[in-house]
Amino acid sequence: GSNSSYSYYNAQTSAPIQDAEAWSSASSSSSLGPVVVAIVDTGVDYNHSVFQNSGAIWTNPGEIPGNGIDDDHNGYIDDVRGWNFVNNTNAPMDDDGHGTHVAGIVLGTTQDITANPISPAKIRIMPLKFLDSKGSGTTSDAVKAIYYAVNNGAKVINNSWGGGSFSNSLIDAIAYAYDKKVSFVAAAGNAANNNDASPTYPANYSVPNMISVAATTDMDYFTDFSNYGAQSVHVASPGKSIWSTLPNNTFGRISGTSMAAPFVSGMAALMMRESPSMSGYQVKNLIFSTGNTLSTLQNKTSTRNRINVLNALSASKNAVVAQSQPSYDVAAARAPASEVTESVPACGLVAKAVYDAKDGNGPQGPHRMLAFFTLLLVLASPIIVSFALRNREGKNKRQHTRYQISSAVTLKLGDRELTGQVSSIS
């Protein structure tokens, strides 16, 4: 792509989505307020230097920190930067890594997160933790997180998680977001399944603000793990070996539709910043109509398009804001109680390449052997990993997990790199 001179472009993804061109095209006016993107996930490491130095983490303007009072009367005490629905606390800290990686992609779609010094963020990240340290969470907590996001000012909600269970309460929450003109972005899933035939939720809910996202490679091929659907999956976005933030001031590469969705969420936020009155429904239609059509997406997505950030941003600047949006009858979409079933969702093998934020040289001294052993363990022991994954599925947290899949695992040992392939376990 023409923006290959940008360090970020090579670091996060080299797919030609024209995000770096969009950064220079985005309005610099300080009068444009930052758009809030809710990360409904495992939490976010809000102490990461990328988020701290850019000022990207949302803070609740109606709450006085630490006074033990629900100042804004929203039902949550001292919710200064989001909420932890797993432990019911005001600390949505990431204890898994997934949400931090997702949040970094959202921010990195809107600016160069490798810049030093980093620019002030044009968006805000609202951390909403409903998935635990094993990546599992309940539908009821997801529903609470969505209502919280909408009621506290989020205009985009990123959902890099899902499962096979239809939930009336979940579709009601998404319909509520639609009524409030919020954009709802969902990962299509990582099981290489046809979502038209075997739905995965929330991506398969037909609420008009829904954007279901599949994953492509840097070379615009469809990934071998992504779910697809000629009707139910809408657009594709880079999702193979994506570089982003990880907890404790580290960075690494992870693959999955979980990584594809936040590119769309970041793009939607940039669009809404340019045109603050635009609804999530209108944003969706502009995203669908401004992507690059690919032959590799034939029968994979409804638009056959991979996103283009610059095109979408340009379209949002020139768009005539629609004053209304189509009515949506959520009652007609609800399932009879007898049809609402529970199922254990697929979850992919987690593999991360972690780099030290300071020098990127990786572990030294005695830690080299530990890192090498870690790589060997991941490569040689799929049975152990499979057993661990099966045992993470608790009885009360069966509905949804994060979407993540392995790719090349890279460990930097001094000036050497060890790389190995890990196949996914679903």
Supply the residues annotated as catalytic: 41, 98, 258
Fill in the amino acid letter for 312: A
Residue 338 DSSP one-character state: G
Instruction: Check: CB of residue 130 under 8 Å from CB of residue 86.
Output: yes
List the strands of the sheet with 123-129, edge to edge. Answer: 83-84, 123-129, 35-41, 156-159, 183-187, 210-216, 235-238, 305-306, 292-293
142: tokens are 């997801």
Cα distance between residue 318 and residue 313, in whole Å: 9
Cα distance between residue 187 and residue 425, in whole Å: 18
215: closest CA among 196, 245, 192? Answer: 192
Q: Which residues make beta-bridge pairs with 127?
A: 39
177: tokens are 């977001």
The three-state (H, E, C) secondary structure of 290-309, written as one string: HCEECHHHCCCCCCCEECCH
Query: DSSP string covering 84-121, please?
Result: ETTTTBS----SSSHHHHHHHHHHHHHS-TT-SSPPPP
Cα distance between residue 210 and residue 306, in whole Å: 16
H-run or E-run covering 401? strand 400-402
How are beta strands 156-159 and 183-187 bridged, if at all? Answer: parallel
310: tokens are 């610059």
How are beta strands 123-129 and 35-41 bridged, if at all? Answer: parallel
Tell me the CB-side half-sphere exposure of residue 131, using CA atoms within 13 A.
Answer: 30
Contacts of 269 (CB under 8 A, 6+ apart): 35, 37, 106, 110, 122, 123, 155, 156
